[in-house]
């Protein structure tokens, strides 16, 4: 069977979608050497993807079209991706796998499998910039969700959301969990006096709550002022200034660190060395960073919302993302009681070991084969 895969999500940089695309696709290809995989992306200036080179049954299919022209051509139907792939590679596709929503256009009868990571753009549109809202509108998610032969979601929570919001039968949706990009280990990192949080620029990740929770905890126990609060991920100057004003109100501005974009290896070091990973996100399709923290035996505080409880169960300390007092008490509990923190870390490590990319790839291949034969 010849499987075409949209590799554009692997070029999007740092984040869960890129991690999923890279690990799921590479594992799929390694597990199925008798199938041919056509890996498509569009890059006006050619970019090589190193992990593809070691996969003999993978054929890179690269278009060199200016991105705005390419997107406009897909919107008008002037270009169909499967026809473009066949023109470049000489191979006909039996099924097309899209690891994330994007601009698409296909031949009418091509089987098409789409992964939905979350429906935050539908559930919380207010958390998106006007540019992001325009992009999601232009992509026409409803059209492609209904056009897909089968939908993959990364959790049962997202499966329920997709079924309810788009009127899709549950039989057309398969919930296939993700896995950590690092192997779980029984060796703890060298823990340092800092709390780790992510994506301060993303309103959905609830950075003000993190700062206020830490500020209240420090007021109740001044010894906690010895800890730093480290935010990893891009942040605008305006957003950073806003967050520092909140910190200043609690007298903890000097405790806050914004480290910006962090490469993968350095990010793993932050997960390994943090005392706590604080992740009170309002909405998650899966919550992959929790598995990364768990792999390094770093205890997690997360929001009791969407998929988080489904993925991690009682192995993380769950809080109401609207109740700052709950976040403050959770921080105090884990920072003041090392045995409790270790208990949560040990539980989360065991929980994280149930998720593997081999399982993800196995179930994904089942969906692709069913779609191709339908």
Give the integer Cα–Cα distance in Å for 267 and 278.
15
Q: Is residue 189 part of a domain?
A: no
Q: Is residue 187 part of a domain?
A: no
Say if residue 206 is in the same domain as residue 162.
no
Which CATH number fits the domain that encloses residue 260? 3.40.50.2000
Going from the C-alpha of 156 to that of each of 35, 116, 174, the distances in angstroms are 29, 11, 8
Q: Is residue 60 part of a domain?
A: yes
Helix (H, G, I), strand (E, B) or coil at 170: helix
Q: Is residue 254 part of a domain?
A: yes
Using CB atoms within 10 A of its CB, is residue 130 exposed (0-12), middle (13-18) or buried (19+)?
exposed
pLDDT value at position 189?
Answer: 57
Q: Is residue 159 part of a domain?
A: yes
Say if residue 198 is in the same domain as residue 327.
yes
Q: Is residue 158 part of a domain?
A: yes
Say if residue 219 is in the same domain as residue 313.
yes
Say if residue 212 is in the same domain as residue 290.
yes
Say if residue 280 is in the same domain as residue 326.
yes
Say if residue 201 is in the same domain as residue 113.
no
Q: Is residue 184 part of a domain?
A: no
Q: Residue 43 corresponds to which tokens in the numbers above?
A: 């890059």
Say if residue 238 is in the same domain as residue 110.
no
Longest distance between any two alpha carbons in the chain, whole Å: 67
Q: Is residue 183 part of a domain?
A: no
Provide the β-strand partners of residue 174: 152
pTM for the full model? 0.92
DSSP result, 56-118: TTEEEEEE---HHHHHHHHHHTS--HHHHHHHHHS---SEEEESS-------TT--EEEEE--
Say if residue 226 is in the same domain as residue 203.
yes
Range of the domain at 234: 194-352
Sheet holding 150-153, edge to edge: 58-63, 36-42, 2-6, 95-98, 112-116, 150-153, 173-175
Strands 256-260 and 276-279: what pairing? unpaired
Tally the domains of the chain.
2
Say if residue 159 is in the same domain as residue 284.
no
Say if residue 19 is in the same domain as residue 148.
yes
Say if residue 241 is in the same domain as residue 286.
yes
pLDDT tens for the 374 residues of the chain, in order: 999 999 999 887 667 899 999 999 999 999 999 999 999 999 877 666 777 777 889 999 999 999 999 999 999 999 999 999 999 999 999 999 999 999 999 998 999 999 999 999 988 889 888 888 999 999 999 999 999 999 999 999 999 999 999 999 999 999 999 998 876 555 555 788 999 999 999 999 999 999 999 999 999 999 999 999 999 999 999 999 999 999 999 999 999 999 999 988 899 999 999 999 999 999 999 999 999 999 999 999 999 977 888 999 999 999 999 999 999 999 999 999 999 999 999 999 999 999 999 999 999 999 999 999 97
Say if residue 228 is in the same domain as residue 149.
no
């Amino acid at each position: 069977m010849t499987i075409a895969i949209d590799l554009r999500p692997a070029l999007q940089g740092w984040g869960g979608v890129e991690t999923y695309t890279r690990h799921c696709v590479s594992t799929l290809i390694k597990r199925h050497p008798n199938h041919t995989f056509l890996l498509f992306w569009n890059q006006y200036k050619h970019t090589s993807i190193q992990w593809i080179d070691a996969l003999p049954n993978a054929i890179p299919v690269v278009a060199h079209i200016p991105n705005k022209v390419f997107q406009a051509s897909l919107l008008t139907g002037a270009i169909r991706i499967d026809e473009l792939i066949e023109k470049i590679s000489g191979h006909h596709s039996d099924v097309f796998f899209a690891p994330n929503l994007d601009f698409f256009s296909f031949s009418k009868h091509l089987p098409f499998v789409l992964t939905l990571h979350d429906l935050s753009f539908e559930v919380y549109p207010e958390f998106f910039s006007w540019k992001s809202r325009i992009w999601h509108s232009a992509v026409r998610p409803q059209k492609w969700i209904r056009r897909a032969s089968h939908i993959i979601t990364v959790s049962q929570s997202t499966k329920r959301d997709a079924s309810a919001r788009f009127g899709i039968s549950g039989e057309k949706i398969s919930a296939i969990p993700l896995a950590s990009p690092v192997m779980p280990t029984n060796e703890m990192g060298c823990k340092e006096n800092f709390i780790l949080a992510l994506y301060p620029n993303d309103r959905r990740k609830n950075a003000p709550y993190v700062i206020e929770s830490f500020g209240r905890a420090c007021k109740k126990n001044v010894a906690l002022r010895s800890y730093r609060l480290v935010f990893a991920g891009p942040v605008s100057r305006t957003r950073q200034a806003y967050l520092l004003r909140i910190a200043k109100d609690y007298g903890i501005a000097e405790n806050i660190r914004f480290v910006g974009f962090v490469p993968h290896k350095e990010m793993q070091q932050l997960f390994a060395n943090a005392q706590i990973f604080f992740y009170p996100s309002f909405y998650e399709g899966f919550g992959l960073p929790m598995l990364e923290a768990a792999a390094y035996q770093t205890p997690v505080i997360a929001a009791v919302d969407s998929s988080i409880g489904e993925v991690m169960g009682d192995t993380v300390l769950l809080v109401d993302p609207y109740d700052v007092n709950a976040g403050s008490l959770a921080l105090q509990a884990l920072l003041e009681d090392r045995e409790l923190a270790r208990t949560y870390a040990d539980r989360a490590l065991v929980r994280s070991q149930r998720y593997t990319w081999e399982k993800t790839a196995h179930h994904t291949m089942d969906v692709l084969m069913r779609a191709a034969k339908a």
